[in-house]
Amino acid sequence: MKVVILCGGRGLRLTGREPTLPKPMVEIGGRPILWHVMMGYAHYGFREFVLCLGHLGEAIKEYFVAREAWRDADVRLRIGQGETRRLELQNSHHAENFDIIFADTGNETPSGERLLRVADYLDDEDFFCTYCDGLWNSDPRRELEFHRSHGKLATATAVRAPSSFGMLDLASDDEIKEFREKPLVDQWINGGFFVMSRAVLDEIRPGDALESDVLTRLADEGQLMGFRHTGFWQCMDTYKEQEELDALWRRGEAPWNVWGGGR
């Protein structure tokens, strides 16, 4: 079963300017966030990826195509006479087993249309779809099971995000009765992890954005269900969020690291 990852945007919210590095390649703990997203799926057996490339997409290809296995392993180097050398990998710290299609879907293509452009690669009844900038600690098999149980065309993960500010409970005399530092808001929001039936592709028109067009249309037609995720979830839209995620990883406290290992 394929996992489609939308990797073509410019990531302007993260840097505030035209980036020189694609957002999927921004690192957490020395690894691109895209790699973290892929490892989360691969851990549960979903290893076939379709990467919808766009802006600076060649950097994503270069990372996966040119990266040598010895970079992520303990290595023994045997040097013999005549300058013969033998490199032996002792222990790979991240057992990657990916099957990746790098699909050039255009620099300016809206997110919904990017799905149309990879339709030929989606030959299963259902497929996963996500962005390159969100992390969670859920087992995607649970969302897939939920999706197949309700029979609708699409499932979107619903999460409750933390407030950006501390919340105050004010009494009538203006005394603060309670102070809560960035609690979860009551409203469910789009967490950016989806399961879609292949028939969703028939609902997409050229020029469609995934959120404002495709998902809105599916909701209006009663074809969109919400999978409630109450565990860890965090997007990486700002430099501050990138720093926070990086700090969690480096302290060994990253909830999304379901595959284990800290390198």
Contact of 193 with 139, CB cutoff 8 Å:
no
* pLDDT over 90 (residue 257): yes
Enter the tokens of residue 99.
Answer: 């099957």
**167 assigned to some structural domain:** no
**260 assigned to some structural domain:** no
What's the confidence (pLDDT) of residue 87? 74
pTM recorded for the entire structure: 0.86
Selection from 45, 43, 59, 48 nearest residue 5 by Cα: 48
* pLDDT over 80 (residue 153): yes
What's the confidence (pLDDT) of residue 85? 79
Average pLDDT over residues 143-164: 92
> For the chain, how many structural domains are there in total?
1
Selection from 190, 199, 205 nearest residue 223 by Cα: 199
What's the confidence (pLDDT) of residue 54? 93
Average pLDDT over residues 84-91: 74
**230 assigned to some structural domain:** yes
What's the confidence (pLDDT) of residue 11? 62
Selection from 39, 38, 196 nearest residue 115 by Cα: 196
Contact of 157 with 194, CB cutoff 8 Å:
yes
We report the CATH number of the domain holding residue 240 as 3.90.550.10
**54 assigned to some structural domain:** yes
